[in-house]
């Protein structure tokens, strides 16, 4: 008979925490999970899912325009922000219900309270003050937007959290940041008719992505009417009767109805009692874990964004399943972070897996780069000037495809399938021997027979 109240206690009801709790409970373990806000975590409640719904909403104005080129006469259209928010909220509530249903069906105990560590085996439930004990504990509290508190006037700004719940759509917005959250919301707001400016301190948006895709997206966004100010930062935000006034380092004074800060995310560890339990964190507050997601305290694990490893929902779920194998199936399993497919739901969107040209050039002596840029078939009748970009990065010695990058419609969908292909270790010869599916944009991936150029010792030749 266990001397603990629970075999497993999970702090945090996001995708990683819920998966670990549900599967452990289904194995017959006595499990409790505590969440202080809403079950589903950042991704479901105020991240990937509502963002993708907003992306869809923001694309319809272009669909209406494109329809005329295909013979349709589209009448007058209008957009209702509050109706979108209400529909989004209903869908998020449905998904949260499914998360809870899955936990309940596995006989996990669902607690709607903040939970903090008292020691290595004791948790305090803050709603009641009750303490409970557990043999094993998982911390899966995710991350939160960096408030950029050093910016004078940051209190007048919103983060991506508040962007989902604005009372009304602003006439203008300035978004600070150049990562995928900033870029995606810039496209969303612009697509919904908001005058949009993106301000970023770097030389180009999306710093960790392939350079061709970064430049291609930048050009496409500017062509749509989004203002992008690189090599610049906000210096001060002040509030007046007519909205917000922004002082920038290099572009003078800007006016905006809303300012959104998308300047990174911080691990959500403040006040969790980690010090009391002896759990070590790094300088940013992220929980330090080993290759099995175990902290320096043997019975305490941490999953997902709170560890600041790879901040993606499927990664947190994967880490949870590795925890189950390690802790409950006597099969120590390390999370595999190689070749993770990634998408940026910009407009046009980016789908990528593997190494960028720049990264591969540092790792391999010689590369073959296959690159195609073309106008997609749909754009021929719509009259839209968009271009797709596709790139394959190939190690010349082994012929193995080490990177695949797409800019254009459905790039994320293609990247998911390319993830399987690259994970399987396919070579460029395998691509060449695969029959094309015509007419599709994806057929370009198997019809680029000659290298566009080579990279030798990090230099184009």
Q: What is the DSSP letter of 288?
A: P
From the candidates 165, 190, 218, 438, which is the catalytic residue? 438
**Could you give phi then psi for residue 385, rounded to 5 degrees?**
-90, 15
Taking alpha carbons only, the member of 190, 178, 149 closest to residue 55 is 190
Q: Which residues contact 6 (CB under 8 A, 6 or more apart)?
A: 30, 31, 32, 109, 132, 133, 134, 135
CA–CA distances in Å: residue 324 to residues 10, 105, 301? 13, 18, 11
Distance CA 295, CA 280 (A): 7
Q: Which residues share a beta bridge with 442?
A: none
> Which helix (H) or strand (E) element contains residue 372?
strand 366-374
Say if strands 31-34 and 109-111 run parallel, antiparallel, or are unpaired.
parallel
User: What is the SS3 assignment for 358?
Assistant: helix
- Establish whether the linkage from the previous residue to 348 is cis, with ω within 30° of 0: yes
Task: Please indicate whether residue 218 is annotated as part of the active site.
Answer: no
**Could you give phi then psi for residue 450, rounded to 5 degrees?**
-110, 140
Contact by Cβ (8 Å): 213, 407: yes
Contact by Cβ (8 Å): 446, 434: yes
Q: Which residues are catalytic?
A: 438
């Amino acid at each position: 008979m266990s001397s603990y109240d629970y075999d497993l206690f999970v702090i945090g009801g996001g995708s990683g925490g819920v998966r670990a709790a549900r599967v452990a409970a289904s194995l017959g373990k006595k499990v409790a999970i505590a969440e202080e806000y809403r079950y589903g975590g950042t991704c479901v409640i105020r991240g990937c899912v509502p963002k993708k719904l907003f992306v869809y909403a923001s694309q319809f104005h272009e669909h209406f325009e494109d329809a005329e080129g295909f013979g349709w006469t589209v009448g007058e259209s209008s957009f209702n922000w509050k109706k979108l928010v209400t529909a989004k909220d209903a869908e998020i509530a449905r998904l949260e219900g499914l998360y809870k249903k899955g936990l309940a069906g596995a006989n996990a105990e669902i607690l709607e309270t903040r939970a903090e560590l008292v020691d290595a085996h004791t948790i305090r439930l803050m709603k009641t003050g009750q303490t409970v004990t557990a043999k094993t504990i998982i911390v899966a509290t995710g991350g939160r937007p960096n408030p950029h508190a050093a910016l004078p006037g940051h209190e007048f700004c919103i983060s991506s959290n508040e962007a989902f719940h604005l009372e009304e759509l602003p006439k203008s917005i300035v978004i600070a940041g150049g990562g995928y959250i900033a870029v995606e919301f810039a496209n969303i707001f612009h697509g919904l008719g908001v005058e949009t400016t993106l301000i970023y301190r770097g030389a180009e948006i999306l710093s960790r992505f392939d350079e061709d895709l970064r430049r291609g997206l930048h050009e496409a966004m500017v062509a749509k009417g989004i203002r992008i100010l690189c090599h610049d930062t906000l210096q001060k935000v002040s509030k007046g009767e007519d909205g917000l006034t922004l002082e920038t380092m290099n572009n003078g004074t800007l006016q905006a109805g809303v300012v959104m800060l998308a300047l990174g995310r911080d691990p959500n560890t403040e006040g969790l009692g980690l010090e009391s339990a002896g759990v070590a964190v790094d300088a940013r507050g992220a929980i330090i874990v080993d290759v099995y997601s175990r902290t320096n305290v043997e019975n305490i694990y941490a999953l997902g964004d709170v560890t600041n490893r790879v901040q993606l929902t499927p990664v947190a779920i994967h880490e949870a399943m590795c925890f189950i194998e390690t802790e409950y199936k006597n099969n120590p399993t390390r999370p595999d972070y190689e070749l993770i497919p990634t998408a940026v739901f910009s407009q046009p969107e980016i789908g990528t897996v593997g190494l960028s040209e720049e990264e591969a050039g540092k790792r391999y002596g010689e590369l073959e780069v296959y690159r195609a840029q073309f106008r997609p078939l749909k754009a021929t009748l719509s009259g839209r000037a968009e271009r797709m970009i596709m790139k394959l990065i190939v190690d010349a010695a082994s012929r193995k495809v080490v990177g695949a990058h797409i800019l254009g419609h459905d790039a994320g969908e293609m990247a998911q399938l390319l993830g399987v292909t690259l994970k399987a270790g396919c070579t460029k010869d395998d691509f060449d021997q695969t029959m094309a599916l015509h007419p599709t944009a994806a057929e370009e991936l198997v019809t680029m027979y000659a290298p566009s150029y080579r990279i030798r010792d990090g230099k184009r030749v």
